Amino acid sequence: MNTIELDNQYVMHTYARLPVVFVRGEGCFVYDDAGRQYLDLLAGIAVNGLGHCHPKVVAAIREQAGVLMHTCNLYHTALQPKLAKLLAEASGMTKAFFCNSGAEANEAAIKLARKAAKLAGYPEKTEIITALGSFHGRTLAAITATGQSKYQKAFTPLPPGFMYVPYNDVDALKEAAGEKTCAIMMEPVQGESGVHPATPEFLRVARELCDSLGAALIFDEVQTGLGRTGKLFGFQHYDVVPDVMTLAKTLGGGFPIGACLAKGKYAEVFEPGDHASTFGGNPLACAAAIAATTEIIEGGWVENSREVGAYFAERLRALPGITEVRGMGLMIGADLDFSGFPLRSNPETPVAKQIVIESLAKGLIINATGETTLRFVPPLIISKELVDMAIQRLQAAICESVAQQ
């Protein structure tokens, strides 16, 4: 059996994988089992911020793998507090809890907010307000926080206590918030919904409501964090600081690690026994994250994200059929409108998916977040020259997909 047949037979079908087998990655490129090169503008869905196999991350992992990979969280290890300090100094948060993924980081944030309300003497204060169209992960509480019923409906009953408001709808947020609210949880820029930045007013009102109600403001920075938006953290585009912030994706430079950061009284909520993760913050993951985070900050990649992101957005705006380009830094969504122009191949396939498939055939990895929306979250190290290459391939893929071209 070849890899795809083995995969089909032995791996649960949770993913509709495209028929390509990647075997190697370097910088902004990955290579398949036939040696074909692909320019990767998806970067492991915003994970490979430093590209594939960044030498500093690889060296840190190699070195740490030969020293100590895992003990357990019942003992101190040297790198966990070092990473916590690095993230605290970079973000203004004060303490960290480490886990292995974005969903787990959000679980920690949800538990933290609920316990904080109980500690404050309000046991009935349990509601968490999130946004429609949001994405917070796939564990049961995280899909409940995720304001998209398509991810929830097969898995009911869901944990109670979650409410949803349309993203950027200030009046709906004000109406939903009340005495029972223990947290408002938002992405500063929604990713999975097709890259929608929050309005400054929405986040400002969320902050004010949390202050007046004694609730925690949680920002899910799993996708926006660590340079993706052209600032180190998404919240830095706004004059609004959260109480709790979650990270994952780019944090480990390709190695799995998640973090829930908190400040002030929220940093002191958890006590031994409240929350834990066997693998969370293990020395290997921390070594990768220290190397990746340090390089993102010191290597000028946040600035690169801002500058090359603006260039990329401009070039996308000039492409035929692209009606709107949204985003910040290298987190970009593009809406398509080819209505009236038949697709060249399967008319059942939505145009965005068709372009994703054609792009892959042309050596370009991109992603569709909806039937008519493309998402681009390339490595933060991408250059303008590689953006030009991407635009050329994307244009060819659009021509291939849409009869009008």
Contact positions vs ligand PLP (CB under 6 A): 45, 101-103, 106, 135-137, 187, 191-192, 220, 222-223, 248
Which amino acid, one-letter code, is at 87? L
Q: Which is nearer to ligand PLP, 27 or 234 (CB)?
A: 234
Q: Please report how close the Cβ of residue 330 comes to ligand PLP at its closest, in angstroms.
A: 14
Is residue 321 a contact partner of residue 327, using CB atoms and an 8 Å limit? no
Q: Is 31 exposed, middle or buried (0-12, 13-18, 19+ CB in 10 A)?
A: middle
Q: Please report how close the Cβ of residue 146 comes to ligand PLP at its closest, in angstroms.
A: 8
Q: Please report how close the Cβ of residue 46 comes to ligand PLP at its closest, in angstroms.
A: 7
Distance CA 249, CA 289 (A): 10
Q: Which is nearer to ligand PLP, 44 or 214 (CB)?
A: 44
Q: Please report how close the Cβ of residue 187 comes to ligand PLP at its closest, in angstroms.
A: 5
**Vertex 390, ends 41 and 392: CA angle to 5°?**
160
Q: Please report how close the Cβ of residue 135 comes to ligand PLP at its closest, in angstroms.
A: 5
Q: Please report how close the Cβ of residue 69 comes to ligand PLP at its closest, in angstroms.
A: 20
Q: Which is nearer to ligand PLP, 248 or 360 (CB)?
A: 248
Q: Which is nearer to ligand PLP, 125 or 196 (CB)?
A: 196
Q: Which is nearer to ligand PLP, 83 or 108 (CB)?
A: 108
Distance CA 393, CA 383 (A): 16
Q: How many CA atoms lie within 13 A of 118 on its CB side?
A: 9
Kindly report whether the peptide bond that precedes residue 157 is cis, defined as omega within 30 degrees of 0.
yes
Distance CA 242, CA 253 (A): 24
| Residue whose C-beta lies closest to ligand PLP | 102
Is residue 355 a contact partner of residue 390, using CB atoms and an 8 Å limit? no
- Please name every residue paired with 99 in a beta bridge, in sequence order, or none if there are none: 258
Is residue 309 a contact partner of residue 381, using CB atoms and an 8 Å limit? no
Q: Which is nearer to ligand PLP, 102 or 321 (CB)?
A: 102
Query: Closest Cα partner for 322 from 304, 339, 335?
Result: 335
Angle between helices 283-298 and 55-65 (to 10 degrees): 160
Q: Residue 218's Cα: distance from chain center in Å?
A: 15
Q: Which is nearer to ligand PLP, 248 or 390 (CB)?
A: 248
Q: Please report how close the Cβ of residue 231 comes to ligand PLP at its closest, in angstroms.
A: 16
- At 164, list the tokens: 């949803």
Q: Please report how close the Cβ of residue 368 comes to ligand PLP at its closest, in angstroms.
A: 14
Q: Which is nearer to ligand PLP, 83 or 218 (CB)?
A: 218
Residue with tokens 């046991």: 123
Distance CA 146, CA 362 (A): 34
